[in-house]
Amino acid sequence: MLIDSHCHLDFPEFVEDRDDVIRRAREVGVRLMLTISTKITEADKIISLAEAYEDLVCSIGIHPHEAGSEPETSADELARIAAHPKVVGIGETGLDYYYEHSPREAQKKNFQSHISASRDTNLPLIVHARDADTDTAMILEEEAGKGSFPGLIHCFTAGPELAERALNIGMYISFSGIATFKNTQEIRDVIEIVPLDRILVETDAPFLAPTPHRGKRNEPSFVRHTAELIADIKGISYQEFIDISGTNFFKLFTKAIPPEKSGQPLTASSTS
């Protein structure tokens, strides 16, 4: 079961042809797409988008780039919005010290409120981490000491230490099309050490189109190229990998219901 575990179908890049983008994903076997929130002020918009397609679910949260401009949002408020049936995750949140579009302290406070919401709702925390490995690992470990929460680091581009520390507290690791680029051997090395039962695959569309589409607008149908690469690195067939990664998705995102259980097209649970 091929799943794009992280895309941004609400972004302007998809306004003109979103239906075609989703159709192309279905044609290559993508059974579910998780479209990710970056602004709490646009929560209604992303939820409405998820409601419009049976094979689309969403998250709610504030991206670290937006932590300084979006309204400060409590864990209780995040949990309240996340009660909607189509919301299956909290985030994306985390730390980005590469661009630093928001002050570091605002990013950290935002990150911690999202972790609390994840803990309270048992919805997975979707973590963005760029050039902030030490602080990301420290905050995750400190918060895990207060009580467990499910989650993953998406679009993983760091080294093995962050991967190992995240895995040690029960998190999953998701890989994007960056892993297919020629100059990213370090990411492929991390893929080798992450257990198969902790791997997810994503596009992060419209960004980071994988080889052979590099430089183009990314879209969920391209997730198959990253899945093929990971299967090759792990020495298993493509079908084996998408079965395993699909199972991993539903173990983590427990609010999403696999079609074989519901007898219906993929959608989200009617309960939180």
**H helices within 16-103, ranges in order?**
18-27, 43-51, 75-82
Residues 6+ apart with CB under 8 A from 49: 9, 10, 35, 56, 58
Q: 61 with 93: CB under 8 angstroms?
A: yes
Eight-state DSSP code of residue 33: E
Collapsing DSSP states into helix, strand and coil, what is residue 136? helix
Binding-site sequence positions: 6, 8, 92, 128, 154, 204
Q: 161 with 193: CB under 8 angstroms?
A: no
Binding-site sequence positions for a divalent metal cation: 6, 8, 92, 128, 154, 204
**In angstroms, rounded to a whole number, what is the distance separating the alpha carbons of residues 42 and 127?**
19
Backbone angles phi, psi at 242, to 5 degrees: -70, -30
Q: Token pair 């991993």 is at which residue? A: 248
Q: 183 with 197: CB under 8 angstroms?
A: no
Beta strands in 62-210 (DSSP E): 87-96, 125-130, 151-153, 172-175, 199-201
